[in-house]
Amino acid sequence: MTAMIEASLKPAALRMLAWGCLWSPLADNEEHQEAWEVLGLPGRFEDVRIEYWNSFHAGMPQPPVPVLLHALLQCEGAGTREDLMRVANYLEVEWDERRLPPDHLGPVCELYGLAIEREEPVLIDGLRDRYLRPWVVAALAALNNRPAMMGLVQRFLNDL
């Protein structure tokens, strides 16, 4: 995140963009560390990197806590993706070739951050109450034996 972008965004929007980066498997370790620092999380990302990947990204048939919202929330995927694509279209989000599914937690955090930045209360409430908070509740229940990751998800909840 460049200093120019950071200076021009509302702090809550910047934090959501940092969360979006942190949840993204497309970000490299340096980008994850930068997001970690923006969020003021304790220690270094490298200290929890393996537990993070094993909790949220790696697993067969899926990780213990999927960051695909429909998977963790056990709802229909196509409808969830369509709903979030409508939000993205309303916010005039342009996608590049390197992108995640629209119901992945990373892009949803970015949409939430844009809604905060543009002061869209209906979108803010809808994304938070329909997707983000329910994901947190389900994630915390699934992480009952991983205190470091529970702490990370709790910090995320605090920013919602």
State the pLDDT at residue 58. Answer: 86
pTM given for the model? 0.89
> By the 8 A CB rule, do 29 and 44 touch?
no
pLDDT tens per residue across span 97-119: 667 878 889 999 999 999 999 99
Task: Report the chain's mean pLDDT, rounded to a whole number.
Answer: 90
Nearest to 31 by CA among 123, 140, 113, 106: 106
Spatial neighbors of 125 by CB under 8 A, at least 6 apart, are none
CA distance 1 to 59: 30
Which residues of the chain are modeled with pLDDT < 70?
1-7, 95-98
Retrieve residue 99's tokens: 């992108």
